[in-house]
Amino acid sequence: MSGSLLRLVCTAAVAAGALLAPAPAAAVPDPGPTTGAAAGAGGAAAVGDPGQRSVAALLTDLQKLYRDAESATEKYNATAEKLEKQRADVARLDARLTQARLSLRDSRGAAGRLARQQYQNSGEISSYVRVLLARDPQHALDEGHVIGQLSQERAETVERVAGTERRTDSLARAARSALDGQLALAAQQKKQRDDVRKRLAEVEELLASLTVDQLAELDRFEKSGAAKAQQQFMASGALSSERPPSREGEEALRYAVGQIGKPYQWGAEGPKSYDCSGLTSQAWQRAGQPIPRTSQEQWAQLPRIPLSKLRPGDLVIYFPEATHVALYLGDGMVVQAPRPGTKIKVSPIAANPLLGAVRPDPGEKPLRSYTPPKLPEGAPL
């Protein structure tokens, strides 16, 4: 399947989200019309000869396959984020364990020296008799004081060795547990990576079965459907007015606009390619406001805002499972990394079924003066 055909159908799949997906959980009207094919959007792709099926049915299948692939991608990304933190924990515990073992070695060395010293002095007469026989009793008393100090030091050394051994054993168990967790996450990530590849292969298989005429019809259907969905959404009044972004929001948006035209790649965080949440997380990272890596965690952890209060830079979340995300550009448009085979682009906000919106910097004030970023010439739409 050529790259141009793949991009064409990927674009068509966006329309499927607007036309065929169920109504979102947020109080936003379903941007697409109800069709007979919509009832099958949530189920598995139907089996049959693609040449005998309607455009709506093909779009339903593609939408399901793309959503499955993106859901698998976000799970993969979430596990990758956990694995990165787990590796940092393992490295930190290993460093502490190494230090503890060095400390234990030093403590045992000191204890050994004291033990040898005690053994070597065991045949000498008692300090009491030494005082009685000494020509200088005061000097002998001073020696006795030193001996007492050495005894106390021996006791403290033994206690220190015992304490260091306990800490070392505890750190060794923690490091072992952390390493086991890392290995489990790595295995889970590999399984999820294989799942993503399987989902994408299913998409490729369906695309390869389509004719050029079917692709052209899908493209026409996408354009008319997307335009109708956006018109209905904008007419609903969900976006009541435009607001300027915060300073961080402006920086995040300008970064995202600067990535327009770069390819979508699952699991990618730039700088050459991105997936949907890789773009949004990196944009806000560059603005000095780190946010969760995945769209699902962005939806779960960031403060939610009504669509009527959207400002540029806010994140728009899509689908009931929060498996897709874009940055709000303004005027009812978003910047997004849509699907495999496509490039980062500007799209209508209603291109996919809306779930809601979140704001990474809710405490920041909007700019008094704001000029929207200039889109690259020939930017894909």
Highest mean predicted confidence (pLDDT) among 133-137, 156-160, 201-205, 235-239: 235-239
The token pair that represents 117 in the structure block: 């010293």
Question: What's the distance, CA 168 to chain centroid?
Answer: 33
What is the pTM (predicted TM-score) of this model? 0.59
The per-residue pLDDT for range 31-73, each reduced to its tens digit, is 333 333 333 333 344 445 555 667 677 767 776 777 777 777 7
Question: Could you say which DSSP state residue 35 is in?
Answer: -
pLDDT confidence tier of residue 9, bands split at 50, 70 and 90: very low
Give the max Cα distance, the chain: 118
pLDDT tens digits, residue range 163-177? 666 777 676 777 777
Average pLDDT on 358-374 reads 93
Question: 237 versus 171: which is more confidently predicted?
Answer: 237
φ, ψ of residue 326 to 5 degrees: the values are: -145, 165
Each residue's pLDDT tens digit, 81-91:
777 777 777 77
Cα separation, 19 vs 348, in Å, equals: 13
Buried b (16+ CB within 10 A) or exposed e, 47-57: eeebeeeebbb
The per-residue pLDDT for 153 is 58
pLDDT at 128: 47
Contact 65, 45 (CB under 8 A): yes
Q: Which amino acid makes up residue 72?
A: A
Please give the residue that has the higher pLDDT: either 363 or 81.
363
**Is the pLDDT score of 305 beyond 80?**
yes
